[in-house]
Amino acid sequence: AQSVAQPEDQVNVAEGNPLTVKCTYSVSGNPYLFWYVQYPNRGLQFLLKYITGDNLVKGSYGFEAEFNKSQTSFHLKKPSALVSDSALYFCAVRAWFSGYSTLTFGKGTMLLVSP
């Protein structure tokens, strides 16, 4: 079964510093990987995806993620964090449920960026 793991409940970083939010995956076949962000009292917003092609994927708000097949990882990164990046981040992978494909999510990582 497809699954993703986010080993950190919370990541703390100072504004201006680089940030990394970790994600590892377990799938059979080629993975379709996604990152979403959830701000307080808001729905999920799509950040970026990896389907195929370049291992470095660029997304919204200056975020990028690196697909590493040998390490089965898809870490989210940003060169310089902003206080406004503070939110809950979810890694997700395409999974099959009862014959339909949708997403299965990691438990989420809270990112806190301090001024």
Partner 1 sequence: SAVISQKPSRDICQRGTSLTIQCQVDSQVTMMFWYRQQPGQSLTLIATANQGSEATYESGFVIDKFPISRPNLTFSTLTVSNMSPEDSSIYLCSVPGSRTGVGDGYTFGSGTRLTVV
The separation between CA 19 and the C-alpha centre of its own chain, rounded to angstroms, equals 12
Alpha carbon distances (Å) from 80 to 5, 18, 55, 100, 106? 24, 5, 20, 38, 24
For partner 1, the binding residue among 51, 56, 83, 112 (CB under 8 A) is 51
**Secondary-structure percent of the chain, ordered helix, strand, coil, rounded to 5:** 5, 55, 40
Q: Is 104 in the site for partner 1 (CB under 8 A)?
A: yes
> Based on CB atoms, which residue is closest to partner 1, 32 or 78?
32
- The answer to whether 115 contacts partner 1 (rule: CB under 8 A) is no
Q: Figure out which of the listed residues 1, 29, 98, 115 binds partner 1, where binding follows CB under 8 A.
A: 98
- Which residues of the shown chain bind partner 1 in the complex (CB under 8 A)? 32, 34, 36, 41-46, 49, 51, 90, 94, 97-108
